[in-house]
Amino acid sequence: MDETTHFDELEQLAMSLGATNVAIRSAAEIQVEEELVSFCKNPRCPNYGLSPSCPPHVSGPDGFRKLLEDRSHVLVVRIVVPSSVLFSGERRELMAFLHELVATVELAAIENGYTKSKAFAGGSCKDLFCFADDDCNVLGGKGDCRNPDRARQSMSGFGVNVSHLIKTCGWESNIKIKDPSDDLMNWVAGIVLLG
C-alpha cells in the first residue's frame, strides 16, 4: 500500500463526521514549542494534573518529537463555530465532539493499515468526559480509561503550535465572518498523526 492510499477516505470520513475543514500535511510541518506547555501551568489550568492526557503526566514536546519520527503525515481537522459557543455551556459538548471525531478517524486509520496513528484534540478529557466523577479512573488506580474510543490527549501538553498548523493548511486563523445572528466565528482543532 502506498502511504497515501487511504488519505482521501480519511479526509472524507472527518468531513462526514462534522469537520468544517480537513487537510493532510507532512508531519514535519508541525511546530512543537516548549513555551506553549508552560501555559498549562502558568496560569494554572484547573484541569492540570487531573488526567493522564495532560501535564505533568504526558511526555511533552520531547515525547511528541519522538512520535513524529515514525509518523509521516498529519490529518488536521478544524470545526468553525460562533465565538459565543466557546464561552457558553455548549463548549464542553463541542470539545467532546472534537475528541470523538479525531478518535474515530484515528481508529479508521489504524483499521486501514496506518497502525501507528494517534489522535490529539484540545481540552482535558477529565473536564470533557469525567467531569461528574471524583477522579480519573486511571490516575485513581481503579482501572482503565472509561472512554477509550472517545477521549484523546490534549495538544497543549505537548507544545503543538496549533495556530501555525492552521496557517500551514492555508486556513485563516482569524475568522472575521459573522453568522446570521451577527456573532463572530471562531474555531477548534484536532489532529491525527498518520503512520
State yes or no: residue 72 binds ligand SF4 (CB under 6 A).
Answer: no
DSSP string, 118-178: EEEESS-HHHHHSTTSSS-TTTTTSSS-S-TTT--EESGGGTB-HHHHHHHTT--SS---B
List CB contacts of 29: < 8 A, sequence separation 6 or more. 74, 165, 168
Instruction: Choose, by CB under 6 A, the member of 22, 27, 47, 51 that binds ligand SF4.
Output: 51
The CA distance from 42 to 61, in Å, is 17
**Total number of residues binding ligand SF4 (CB under 6 A)?**
14
Interaction of residue 92 with ligand SF4, rule CB under 6 A: no
- Verify binding: residue 186, ligand SF4, rule CB under 6 A: no
Closest to ligand SF4 by CB, 52 or 60: 52
* CB 149 to ligand SF4: min, Å: 10
Give the DSSP H/E element, type plus range, for residue 28.
none
Nearer to ligand SF4, 27 or 119 (CB): 119
* Residue 57 to residue 60: CA distance in whole angstroms: 9
Does the protein bind ligand SF4 through residue 57 (CB under 6 A)?
Answer: no
Grid coordinates given for 173: 486563523
DSSP-assigned beta bridge partners for residue 118 = 193
Interface residue with ligand SF4, options 64, 114, 120, 129 (CB under 6 A): 129
Using CB atoms within 10 A of its CB, is residue 113 exposed (0-12), middle (13-18) or buried (19+)? exposed
Which of 95, 130, 188, 192 lies at the binding interface for ligand SF4 (CB under 6 A)?
130
Write out the binding residues for ligand SF4, residues 143-162 only, by CB under 6 A.
145-147, 151
Check binding of 136 to ligand SF4 (CB under 6 A): yes
Please, which residue, 34 or 135, has the CB nearer to ligand SF4? 135
Q: How far is the CB of 77 from ligand SF4 (least distance, A)?
A: 19
**Does residue 52 have a cis peptide bond before it, meaning omega lies within 30 degrees of 0?**
no
Query: Site residues (CB under 6 A) for ligand SF4?
Result: 51-53, 125-126, 129-130, 136-138, 145-147, 151
